[in-house]
Amino acid sequence: MLEGDIVQMGAYIGAGLACTGMGGAAVGVGHVVGNFLSGALRNPSAAGGQTATMFIGIAFAEALGIFSFLVALLLMFAV
């Protein structure tokens, strides 16, 4: 009952495996925001000025997760 070719199967399995990279990005973003929050609760008066830095950190952490999403999309639709 098998249909399709083995290349397509490999591409789909690879797309699924690539999505595990998003978990790493999730850990990274959570780490950034969690540490920002723990610092902000210790010194709330300094927190407001550092929100921009937090977003920059989130953006860098998130970019790598987006890369794995991109690899998954390429495997699904471009290969």
Residues that bind other proteins (CB under 8 A): 49, 52, 55-56, 58-59, 62-63, 66-67, 69-70, 73, 77
In the complex, least distance from residue 25 CB atom to other proteins, rounded to whole angstroms: 11
Q: Are 50 and 14 in contact (CB under 8 A)?
A: no
Q: Are 79 and 11 in contact (CB under 8 A)?
A: yes
Q: Which is nearer to other proteins, 9 or 66 (CB)?
A: 66
Q: Are 68 and 19 in contact (CB under 8 A)?
A: yes
In the complex, least distance from residue 10 CB atom to other proteins, rounded to whole angstroms: 19
Report helix, strand or coil for 13. Answer: helix
In the complex, least distance from residue 59 CB atom to other proteins, rounded to whole angstroms: 5
